[in-house]
Every structure is written in C-alpha cells, then in structure tokens.
Structure 1
C-alpha cells in the first residue's frame, strides 16, 4: 500500500550504525567489551547500586530471574492475565504454575487487591507488568510481597524510563527487574534485554546461567594476557548472552532514552487532545510527578460506537495505518485456557478491556503529518 504507516518502527541513527560497524571491524562480535560497556552504562542510568546483566531477550531475563530465586516444580507465581505470554511461559519452563490475576480497568495493570487474594502457601513470587509504560502500584505490591515473604520480579518490558513515586523502575525495592530491547520497544538492540538487581547472589547466578553455567564469561577468558583456557561448568545453564553487535545499538539508544520519552509524551498529549470528545476511553496517565514511558497508546472504544473493535482496525488499515491489540488475555489462548480450564468470564475486567482495546501507532520516527493521519482516520471513523 502506498504511504502505509506501520504500527511501529525503530529509531536508529548514524551513531548506532557506526558503533555496529566498529564492532564488526574489531573482530569481536559476541559478548565482549561493548556488552560490558552497555551493562555499566545501564547500571549507572538506573542507579542506586544496581547490577545490570545483558541478555538476548527479556524472556530470557525473566527465566534467569525466576531460576535465580529458586522457582521450581509446583511453586506458584502470580502474573497478570493481561500480558504477553512470555510473562507466564517462563514460569512453566521451571515446572512451576502461573496463577492469573485480573487487572485494574483504569491502568490495565495487575490489581494488588487481587494479588493478595490469590496468595497460597505455594506462592513464591509475583511478576507485575507495567502495561504500556505506566507503573503498577509498586509500593503496595512490594508491601504485600514482604508481608507474605515472597519475591517480586518486575516485567518492565514496556517501562523504560517509567518512574514510580519519583524513582526509576529498576531502582525500586523489588528483587529483580527485567527490561526489553525488542525492535518495537522504547529503546532497541534488535533483540535483547537487561536484568537489573541489587542482590549480588542473584546477579552472580544470572551471569553464570546466561552462558551455559560456565564459571567465567567468554570475554574474560579470551582477553586475558595470561593463558586462560580453563573453565568450569557449575550448572546446566542456558545460551542467553547478548552480542556486542546488539549492545552497540544499546549504548547509543540509552543515551537517547530521555529524548525518546519526551517525544512519546508529546505525541500522547496530542492524541489525548484530539480524541477527548470522541466515544473512547483514553489511556491512563502516570501519577503526578511520575514518568509514563508511552511504549503503547491504547484507546478503548465505547459501547456506543457503531463498529466493532475488529472492524475499526480494518477501517483504519484501509486508510493506510497499522494498528494492533495489546493484549489478547492469556486465558483466551488455547494452551492456558485448556491447561487451567479457564473461561472468558473468569477474568471479566481483562476480557472486557480486550474487546474494546486498540493500540494506535506511537513511535519517535513518526512525523507530525504521520500522527495527523492517524488522528484524521480515528475521527472520521468514530464521528
């Protein structure tokens, strides 16, 4: 289609391209000096004495985090039902069971009241997801976790640079936070993620397990000036390391994260002003004083709208614009539905939100003209 506006595009500059080329010319392509630099830069950005461990995806990071805190067979981990399947599938990797919880209909984030009602003697962890880049009520979630002596692993795939009570997600008192750098995220390494923790034992375990359970990183072994061929496998680990090619992107993307957030914030404000009189529910805003990452801009169609959500997306596509739906709740997918014998009505708030939700394009490569095209299409269809 001519002049088609896709749902999302990465924002890559000459700095990132030059850094990747530099890595290619250096001869060091896999985990090496660029990955180490990206980890150090990220830890400095988050602050508060955290350790940062780069991995090849946020899914890998969540898996490593759960493994590091000791999740195993028959343990239970509480997750929101309104999320991408990765949040729950990593629980199953370890033989544990995800326990789904419904959402706060205003924010689409996990409802803390429902978290506490779902805790059993088998509950070992909670994975809150900061939907669209708007923080969960982390103060309440951490209080609940401490009360019941369970761990908190934040799925921050949408949440860079989100803040909660004035502090960056990742610098809070949760046990682990995992960020995503997938191609559509607020910063990207193509594929990739970052584990952030203040716990040195968790950090040490994640570093070992991300590369086959080997006691030393390949970078350390191959750059020593002394013979260093010897290593020990101390656990059956995984192949989850980030490459220097990916980290080369991340080094410069991280430098732009505040600029990217400001652009997304401006775009969200423009959408809000354009749609305020239409039959839609606008996205939840961040609490006063906090930052919303605006990874997604999700509207909900009102019951009075005379087109279905699916037809609305088709009509927008006919006007040359890509939209999406975030998310299809997990209890509607065959695997989760059948394994736990779930029905749509078991999580009514998530189910209703899903039936109404439309994600509109919001990314930093969009021009004002691009956004006006989206605005015009939505207004035309809904009015």
Structure 2
C-alpha cells in the first residue's frame, strides 16, 4: 500500500485549528511559563474541574496517556494476575496491552459488523469464573450499546472500563461515553477529537474511592509525598498540555458537530456505490474517524488510487489484536473482526466541505 509522502488532502491536518487558536494557546502556555508550575500545576486542576463538568461526572483525573488511563483503571479496580477481561479484538493494541500489563488475560469477543464495535450479544458466552471486567471500545467515536453491556455486567457482577480513546464527546442515549461504567479512559493524543500537542490522558469516574486510588496510582502510589503505599506510576498530565486542552475544550462541540456533518455528506455522496459500505449515522457518534468498508477485496487498490490523486487515508486497523505476534495462535478465529481488517478505510474527516467534495469525486471515479 503506497501513499504520497505529502498528500494534498491529508487524513488529518491540525494546522487550521492551530492557526485559529494560536493567540489563545500561546497565551495559555505563557501563563504556565510565568508560573513555572510545570508538574501538576494550576491548569491541570482547572482542566480536571472543567472536563468533569463537561462530562457530567464527579471525578476527572489527568494522566500521561490513554494507555496509562486504562492500566490505572484496571489497577484501581483490583484486576491482576489470574483475572480475565472481555474486550474486542478489533481496535488498537493499547486496549489488550493494558489488560496484559496488569497481569490479566484479554478475552476477545467478535464484533458487530454493523457497528464494528464489540458485539454485546456475544459477551455472556465468553464469561468464565475468572472474568472480572468488560472493556468496551467506542471505536471511531461510535458508542457501544452500553445499556446491554451494563445489564450483562450487573447480572454477572463485573466491572466496566470504557475505552474512550476515540470517543471524547460521544454520547450513548444522551449520556457521555466514559461516564456509564466504573471508569472511562480517554486519550488526548494529538489526532483525537480533543487532542493535546503531546501525550495526555484522563480517567473519569463517579466513585469516590476509585478516584482516590487512581490519583494515588498516578503519582508513584502515594497520597502524600514520600509516603508510598503501593507500586504506582509516574503518570501525570503535563501542565502545558492541560493549558492547551483548556483552550480547546470549549470548541469541542462545534468541532464534533462539523465531523457529523462531514459524515452525513460522505454518506449521501457514497450512497448506492456498489462495494462501499458507509457507517451508520447516530446522534451520539463523535466520528473520530469516518470509516467505510470497501468490499470484494478492493480496499488496497482503492487506497492506492486515492493516494495517487493526493488523498490521504488510513487503515484502522490492519491486524486485529488477537492476530498480532504477541497473541497469535492463542485465540480462535474472529470472523467479523478479520474481515473488517481487510475492508476498513478511513477518509479525511476534519477538512472543509470543499475538500470532502474532492474526496467524494475521487472515490466515485475509481
């Protein structure tokens, strides 16, 4: 699969956003420099308060990355060696990696081909006496059926950690993803809907005791400096990144609305094209990625031809987690996940509508 080094229409272009917000961002960074509170500074605490209010949750805890958020959530829930956590095979490695990092075993269930998310109706068959939690991933910003997930979790006494790395601002039946389970884990990787200009992550919870444990774990397992209670992590949200995120947070709803409108225009423009399956538009979808399925073995050819026309695309994800070298031959085949990996193709989502029209015209000509 060949792509142009510098496509005319990149899969993601952060420059317009930076140009729009540059004065505010530079001023926010300047205030941090003036205060020199680079670690756990004022902007971290203010951002945690503001993002908790936005999410409608009691506790928001800034950490170093989305991966750390998942690991700390599992640790705070007491999940470790001998435990099993049910999740999807079709997502980025950090999901299963976090489970393995705490010594537990990822247990995969196949995806729903209509949503590309974990299929809730397959969860109960995967539950064993060792199962402790479910980790649904709101892939591409599309919420999992959390009503069904929570019903199953309650029935079997399981914890729920929502992987919201791609779903900041997405809603399931009006409720923010990440606020329904025991923990929500978010990433502020620069490409996210709400992205920092470096690494960053967040945990959300309504449980006071879990929040206290998570805050302890992010600073070397200590509630009080030099009084370490357990082995923790050096996982603090950087103050400069928090300052940048505070500037960007008030714009998130506008940006997500734009993404949904771009998705609507894509769906309308691609309607009826044989061999292309478009994502289902739902009110709560945040469209971190706009991902089509290119059927009949043509995905790589379509990607190549778009690249030749200067259009950047990405494959999220070419290899399901269970087929990665670390887990290969340890799991049965997951038919829908494997098929999706051969068909998915993500198109530019954050550009203006004239650029989206160019992408549509190119796709129609292939």
Give the TM interval when normalised to the shorter protein. Answer: over 0.9
Structure 1: state its 5+ residue gaps: 217-229
In 1, Cα distance between the equivalents of 2:84 and 2:163? 17
Pairwise CA RMSD of aligned residues?
Answer: 1.5
Asked if the contact 2:91–2:321 (Cα under 8 Å) also holds between the matched residues in 1, the reply is yes
Secondary structure of the structure 2 residue equivalent to 1:35: helix
1:22 corresponds, among 7, 21, 31, to 31
1:4 corresponds, among 4, 8, 11, to 8
Number of the residue aligned with 1:185: 192
Number of the residue aligned with 1:39: 48
10-19 vs 352-361, greater mean Cα deviation: 10-19
In 1, Cα distance between the equivalents of 2:71 and 2:178? 17
Using structure 1 for the length normalisation, give the TM-score: 0.89
Secondary structure of the structure 2 residue equivalent to 1:337: coil
In 2, Cα distance between the equivalents of 1:321 and 1:272? 18
Aligned length: 354
After TM superposition, give the deviation of residue 367 of structure 1 in Å. Answer: 2.1
Asked if the contact 2:85–2:135 (Cα under 8 Å) also holds between the matched residues in 1, the reply is yes
| Pairs within 5 Å for 1:104-253 | 104-172=112-180, 174-190=181-197, 191-216=199-224, 231-253=226-248
Number of the residue aligned with 1:377: 362
Number of the residue aligned with 1:297: 290
Asked if the contact 2:264–2:281 (Cα under 8 Å) also holds between the matched residues in 1, the reply is no
Asked if the contact 1:9–1:183 (Cα under 8 Å) also holds between the matched residues in 2, the reply is no
| Pairs within 5 Å for 1:81-120 | 81-120=89-128
Number of the residue aligned with 2:347: 360
After TM superposition, give the deviation of residue 28 of structure 1 in Å. Answer: 1.6
In 2, Cα distance between the equivalents of 1:72 and 1:171? 23
After TM superposition, give the deviation of residue 25 of structure 1 in Å. Answer: 2.6
Structure 2: state its 5+ residue gaps: none
In 1, Cα distance between the equivalents of 2:134 and 2:194? 25
Secondary structure of the structure 1 residue equivalent to 2:327: helix
2:258 corresponds, among 245, 254, 263, to 263
Asked if the contact 1:134–1:285 (Cα under 8 Å) also holds between the matched residues in 2, the reply is no
In 1, Cα distance between the equivalents of 2:300 and 2:7? 22
Secondary structure of the structure 2 residue equivalent to 1:22: helix
After TM superposition, give the deviation of residue 302 of structure 1 in Å. Answer: 2.9
Number of the residue aligned with 2:326: 335
Using structure 2 for the length normalisation, give the TM-score: 0.93
Number of the residue aligned with 1:221: none
In 2, Cα distance between the equivalents of 1:31 and 1:321? 41
